[in-house]
Chain A
């Protein structure tokens, strides 16, 4: 195995493209080093992207924020601007692992690892985040919900590297929230999770919403029917029930030791409701 720490993104892409064997990007390493140790993967090349300019930066852009691929959870959580604009995304990212893991783990890594239960991803889906990708054929941007294809498989082509995530600007009276269920109080993998983002008009009526669900299907889901169930409402009881029903209907979970199918389907609805209530309150809505 070779270790390279290029100084530019172009060099990184070139290294990743030129490698005929297995090449892996190293940012926080909290998934990669575990996979190396267990010999689940045996890469021929590791490209550490932390020496590349801008990869560790959070930059204000068009009223939103661009989060570099090497920004750790700890750095993200200390950023007042992102925390104020997208509190649900930050709380989701900060739920991953321990203080030690937060010191290294990145949201982009959480996304690229392509776990159906990744904590950051449903919140990023609700936030309509965009993924900026650099590759041998140039740059492209894709919506975050297109990134995870199946457990462990992401949408990157040979030689491609995620450069950053873009969290968009938001209108007045917007809020987001993320909740996960785990049987412990911390340091666990989501059994079910839900992220909700919404925007209100002056009367507290929801004008736009997005709902993301995690750990209830082979990949994190954008549930448009759940969002439609609350748009145009003041998040009254009937709207919340319709939201829960739509969220549950979208689930296609596995049965495992952490949760049964029935349990996950039911809890997805409950968490979607609770996250929507928090997002509604954060947007300044009152009922």
Chain B
């Protein structure tokens, strides 16, 4: 198999890589680019641990081929904080203890950020539906939902 050359932008930085035709964007991020913040859970689009944005749309990177990212803008968990400054969602996740083992957390943060960019004042129901594709087997979700709602409130008053 000949490898495919891909030019893309990841978290705003122009990035190039070679990948196999059947290699997922998730594998490219983790294994070729060393961006291991994005996690692999199920590999079949059910758990949301590998959530990234592709041209601004929230997607599972396990369901995207690396080759498809040609010319696209990819957003990952590594782009959520600005240097040492945490994103308000990250601060609130810590405050509310909205994580335990942490494997689902990058996916939740990327997904929640995508929600708040579209809707600065979501209802609890809207948050729960938006995040229904992110599975967490530790927290029972309530702390995560509270952290997201609290972040939205704080960002509105900022």
Contact = CB atoms under 8 A, between A and B. Distances in A.
A98 B58 CA distance: 10
Interface stretch (A33-41, A145-153, A214-222, A270-278): A33-41
Interface in B5-45: 21-22, 24, 43-45
Interface string A116-149: 0000000000000000000000000000000000
B22 A36 contact: yes
Contact of B132 (A34, A48, A98): A98
A103 B53 CA distance: 9
Interface in B46-90: 46, 48, 51, 54, 57-60, 62-65, 67-68, 70
Contacts of A186: 129, 132
Between B21, B22, B43, B59, the greatest number of chain A beta carbons within 10 A of the residue's beta carbon is seen for: B59
A101 B67 CA distance: 19
Interface residues of A, number: 27
Contact of A48 (B43, B62, B68, B133): B68
A50 B55 CA distance: 13
Interface string A90-134: 000000011111011000000000000000000000000000000
A46 to B, nearest CB: 7
Nearest to A104: B59
| Chain B, interface residues (CB within 8 Å), range | 20 to 34
B4 interface: yes
Contacts of B21: 1-3, 46
Contact of A101 (B60, B65, B129): B60
B113 to A, nearest CB: 12
A57 interface: no
Interface of A: 1-3, 5, 26, 28-30, 33-34, 36-38, 46, 48, 50, 72, 74, 97-101, 103-104, 186-187
